[in-house]
């Protein structure tokens, strides 16, 4: 795994404009960054990222049968009691899931270490599935990458296949919803809807704020149609505590991601995974936080923090890092500190995409600090043939 500088495509901004990529620059700061790329060997991808991703995904799902009937674990995961039966039912029915992203610390040496599961509202999907793919094709065509370079990225094909597979289980109408004013979230649901349309599913989009409720507790769209299925790019735990949350269990609405994802998109799953698979090479030691002093070599993360907010890191050398954020007062976990490796002062975090149950691609975000925040930039990657000079010699 190497970080290689490469000239940007001169026309990438106009391509982004043509392809609906409106959030390549966020709050005047660059987000899409193709001034460099990460090069992997095929073995690094298949052996160190793809295979562990599928294994960890299966391990996480295998915990669910136990969690849904374990009051203590449901409390540890801070799931509000009124939603327990609904979540358990959604798992027993295996209500369909679409996608998730695992974040790994990996630098090409040693096993990738799982930081967390983003299994409810993962973004950076469009840029990983589409714009990164287009970057590779363009740079290959221009001879800027070694001939035969590839990319770990069948995310698009997997999404279309997944939508096609679950289509018959989705009561209609089927809508995609995100907050109205987030260009990034709106771009993500526009892309997902595009993939669903390509799978032959008729579907629309809706601002999450526009969802209505009827007198008998069913959810409606702006035409007063009762929503059959809703993809919501909006955290389940926020829905639980908002005004309409109480209607969810009896509304008849099919949610994607389904309610059972609340158990996985929760940093509390990390200590549960560690307890079940202590010493697994891709897991970091983890435990529920007791609120005491954070010893050296540990990181404290809120159960529901997103984008690296409210993380405290106490490094082995005694340095302490903290990020601000809105999740300060909730329950936390502790995870063994395994800092990201710097590449020329950049700290890449590997986002490994799971569509359905298949590990099908990665997207890399790099920040200038050890904690990956919403300031991180998306940097493309390629699988590059290993040098064959030795064989020829």
- The footprint of other proteins on residues 178-197 (CB under 8 A) is 178-180, 182-185, 188, 190-191, 193-194, 197
Whole-number Å distance between alpha carbons of 356 and 165: 9
Give the β-pairing of 174-178 and 229-232: parallel
Position 7 contacts other proteins (CB under 8 A): no
Give the β-pairing of 358-367 and 312-314: unpaired
Whole-number Å distance between alpha carbons of 293 and 320: 12
Which span sits near other proteins by CB under 8 A: 67-75, 159-167, 267-275, 363-371? 159-167
Q: Find the binder of other proteins among 38, 130, 274, 378 (CB under 8 A).
A: 130
Radius of gyration, CA atoms only, the chain:
21
Position 235 contacts other proteins (CB under 8 A): yes
Whole-number Å distance between alpha carbons of 72 and 67: 9
Q: Find the binder of other proteins among 3, 9, 13, 218 (CB under 8 A).
A: 218
Whole-number Å distance between alpha carbons of 262 and 128: 24
Complex with other proteins: residue 42 or 285, whichever CB lies closer: 42
Position 355 contacts other proteins (CB under 8 A): yes
DSSP 24: S
Q: 48-77 mask for other proteins (x: CB under 8 A)?
A: ----------x-------------------
Nearest to 378 by CA among 15, 123, 137: 123
Whole-number Å distance between alpha carbons of 20 and 261: 29
Complex with other proteins: residue 7 or 17, whichever CB lies closer: 17
By CB under 8 A, the residues from 92 to 121 that bind other proteins are 93-94, 118, 120-121
Complex with other proteins: residue 198 or 368, whichever CB lies closer: 198
Closest separation between CB of residue 106 and other proteins, Å? 16
Contact of 304 with 327, CB cutoff 8 Å: yes
Position 169 contacts other proteins (CB under 8 A): yes
Give the β-pairing of 25-26 and 2-5: unpaired
By CB under 8 A, the residues from 242 to 271 that bind other proteins are 242-245, 247
By CB under 8 A, the residues from 364 to 383 that bind other proteins are 374, 383
Q: 308-347 mask for other proteins (x: CB under 8 A)?
A: ------------------x---------------------
Position 212 contacts other proteins (CB under 8 A): yes
Which span sits near other proteins by CB under 8 A: 201-209, 271-279, 289-297, 384-392? 201-209
Q: Site size for other proteins, by CB under 8 A? A: 91
Closest separation between CB of residue 383 and other proteins, Å? 6
Position 296 contacts other proteins (CB under 8 A): no
Contact of 372 with 124, CB cutoff 8 Å: no
Whole-number Å distance between alpha carbons of 91 and 262: 11
Pair of tokens at residue 173: 């109408």
Whole-number Å distance between alpha carbons of 216 and 205: 23
Pair of tokens at residue 92: 């027993």
Find the distance separating the first CA and the last CA of the chain, reported in whole Å: 24
Complex with other proteins: residue 36 or 177, whichever CB lies closer: 177
> Side-chain half-sphere of 387: how many Cα atoms within 13 Å?
3
Q: Find the binder of other proteins among 258, 259, 348, 356 (CB under 8 A).
A: 356
Closest separation between CB of residue 72 and other proteins, Å? 26
Q: Find the binder of other proteins among 4, 7, 69, 207 (CB under 8 A).
A: 207
Nearest to 204 by CA among 236, 175, 162, 167: 175
Q: Find the binder of other proteins among 64, 79, 102, 208 (CB under 8 A).
A: 208
Query: Is residue 335 classed as helix, strand or coil in its secondary structure?
Result: strand
Which span sits near other proteins by CB under 8 A: 104-112, 202-210, 271-279, 287-295? 202-210
């Amino acid at each position: 795994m190497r970080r290689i500088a490469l000239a940007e495509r001169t026309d990438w901004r106009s391509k982004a404009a043509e392809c609906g990529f409106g959030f390549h620059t966020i709050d005047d700061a660059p987000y899409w960054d193709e001034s460099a790329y990460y090069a992997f060997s095929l073995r690094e991808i298949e052996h160190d990222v793809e295979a562990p991703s599928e294994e960890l995904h299966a391990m996480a799902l295998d915990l669910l049968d136990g969690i849904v009937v374990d009051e203590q674990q449901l409390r540890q995961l801070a799931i509000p009691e009124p939603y327990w039966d609904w979540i358990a039912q959604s798992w027993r029915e295996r209500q369909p899931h679409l996608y998730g992203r695992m974040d790994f610390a990996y630098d090409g040496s040693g096993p990738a270490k799982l930081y967390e599961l983003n299994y409810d509202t993962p973004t950076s999907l469009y840029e990983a599935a589409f714009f990164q793919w287009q970057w590779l094709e363009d740079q290959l065509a221009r001879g800027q990458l070694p001939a035969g370079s590839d990319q770990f990225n069948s995310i698009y094909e997997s999404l279309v296949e997944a939508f096609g597979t679950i289509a018959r289980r989705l009561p209609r109408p089927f809508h995609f919803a995100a907050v109205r004013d987030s260009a990034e979230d709106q771009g993500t649901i526009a892309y997902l809807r595009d993939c669903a349309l390509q799978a032959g599913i008729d579907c629309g989009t809706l601002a999450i704020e526009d969802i209505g409720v009827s007198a008998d507790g069913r959810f409606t769209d702006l035409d007063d149609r009762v929503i059959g299925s809703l993809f919501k790019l909006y955290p389940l735990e926020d829905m639980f505590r908002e005004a309409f949350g109480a209607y969810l269990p009896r509304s008849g609405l099919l949610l994607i991601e389904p309610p059972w994802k609340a158990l996985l998109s929760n940093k509390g799953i990390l200590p549960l995974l560690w307890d079940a698979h202590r010493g697994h090479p891709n897991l970091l030691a983890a435990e529920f936080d007791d609120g005491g002093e954070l010893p050296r070599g540990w990181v404290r993360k809120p159960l529901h923090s997103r984008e690296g907010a409210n993380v405290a890191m106490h490094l082995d050398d005694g340095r302490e890092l903290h990020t601000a954020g809105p999740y300060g007062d909730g329950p936390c976990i502790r995870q063994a500190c395994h800092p990201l490796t710097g590449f020329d002062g950049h700290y890449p975090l590997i986002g490994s995409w799971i569509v359905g149950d298949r590990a099908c691609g990665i997207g890399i975000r790099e920040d200038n600090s050890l904690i990956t925040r919403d300031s991180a930039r998306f940097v493309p990657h390629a699988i590059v043939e290993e040098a064959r000079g030795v064989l020829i010699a």
